[in-house]
Amino acid sequence: MSRRQPPVPSLARRRCFVTGAASGIGRATAIAAAGRGAELHLTDRDASGLAETAAVIERQGGRVLTADALDITDHDGVQALAAAIHAAHRSVDVVMNIAGTSTWGTIDRLGHEDWEQMIDVDLRGPISVLEAFVPAMIEAGRGGHIVNVSSAAGLLGLPWHAAYSAAKFGLRGVSEVLRFDLRRHRIGVSLVCPGGVATPLVESAKIRGVDPDAPELRKLRDRFARHAVGPEQVAEKIIAGVERDRYLVFTSNDVRLAFLAQRWCPPAYELAMRRLNDRLEAVAARAAARSAS
């Protein structure tokens, strides 16, 4: 494939739609994009957090065109918000699908509602956003860029992540196809695959069948937090991915190395996944024994 000029080499004066903007990666990315001169359309189901993000951006001299609370699983609501934005401001230039949620557990511990929630929030929601905004980007003919935030769990067979991976691998597939489908329209696509990120999702992630207050689990969370990168670092990687037209965007070297091992050294990858699985099962067993005693 021949090299080309990035469709969005700078976010200055570009209209960006960002989901999940009330906290975590979404907030950090919205603030960073505003600092680059982007004009923001923001949404999140957390109305108060969203208003706080918009206030921070405006205090720093940024421009927020829209800050409307919305649950991206509401397909009709997404369509209505897109229609309102297009009517008032024309099509957007960059779409950033960042909103998400997470539930972990083995298949015997997950409920059907867990699978439904992961698919609804982490796959159907982003698809609704793409349906609502991308056709107008194509029609406008100005090019643009799409950011889909997947996960390490969208690349790797991480233990206890079956439901989460179902959605994140699905988003990866959508991105892989759009990467080529939209090239003729000068619309780039970035698939962001974070590993550990210090966001509220770390504490809010549900783990089925394990007491969230068990010391063993708390120790794992603390270890995770020590190795996690900050949302601001992830935001910088995302913006660099847009401005340099990168498809795969890694936010930490551990995920990059695991992905390379999966592709080029399968035995090492398989051994690492088996050991991680055994370790998590041992933690769950100790936690269960403590609760039963």
The answer to whether the Cα torsion of 111, 113, 115, 117 is positive or negative is negative
Residue 239: CATH number of its domain: 3.40.50.720
Question: Is 193 in contact with 171 (CB distance < 8 Å)?
Answer: no
What pLDDT is stored for residue 1 in this prediction? 36
| Calpha distance 235→50 (Å, rounded) | 17
- Is residue 247 annotated as a catalytic residue, yes or no? no
What pLDDT is stored for residue 2 in this prediction? 43
Tally of structural domains, the chain: 1
Q: In 10 A of CB 181, how many CB atoms?
A: 13
What pLDDT is stored for residue 290 in this prediction? 67
Examine residue 8 and state whether it is found in any structural domain, yes or no. Answer: no
Examine residue 9 and state whether it is found in any structural domain, yes or no. Answer: no
Catalytic choice (17, 133, 160, 164)? 164
User: What is the residue whose two structure tokens read 């794992």?
Assistant: 220
What pLDDT is stored for residue 222 in this prediction? 65
Which residue range(s) make up the domain with 258?
15-292
What pLDDT is stored for residue 4 in this prediction? 76
| Calpha distance 4→97 (Å, rounded) | 24
What pLDDT is stored for residue 188 in this prediction? 98
Q: What is the pTM of this model?
A: 0.91
DSSP 41: E
Residues in the chain: 293
**DSSP per-residue string spanning 71-113:** -TT-HHHHHHHHHHHHHHH---SEEEE-----EE--TTT--HH
Examine residue 205 and state whether it is found in any structural domain, yes or no. Answer: yes
Examine residue 61 and state whether it is found in any structural domain, yes or no. Answer: yes
Q: What is the pLDDT along the chain (293 residues), one digit of tens a residue?
A: 346 789 999 999 999 999 999 999 999 999 999 999 999 999 999 999 999 999 999 999 999 999 999 999 999 999 999 999 999 999 999 999 999 998 988 999 999 999 999 999 999 999 999 999 999 999 999 999 999 999 999 999 999 999 999 999 999 999 999 999 999 999 999 999 998 755 555 555 677 777 666 666 666 666 666 666 789 999 999 999 999 999 999 998 889 999 999 999 999 999 999 998 988 888 777 766 666 66
Residue spans of alpha helices (H) in the chain: 24-35, 47-59, 75-89, 112-119, 125-140, 162-181, 200-204, 215-227, 231-243, 253-264, 266-292
| Calpha distance 38→235 (Å, rounded) | 14
Angle between helices 162-181 and 112-119 (to 10 degrees): 20
Examine residue 45 and state whether it is found in any structural domain, yes or no. Answer: yes
Contacts of residue 12, Cβ cutoff 8 Å, sequence gap at least 6: 36, 37, 38
Angstrom distances, CA of residue 182 to CA of 67, 144, 192, 243: 27, 10, 18, 17
Question: Is 57 in contact with 29 (CB distance < 8 Å)?
Answer: no
Examine residue 4 and state whether it is found in any structural domain, yes or no. Answer: no
Examine residue 3 and state whether it is found in any structural domain, yes or no. Answer: no
Examine residue 5 and state whether it is found in any structural domain, yes or no. Answer: no
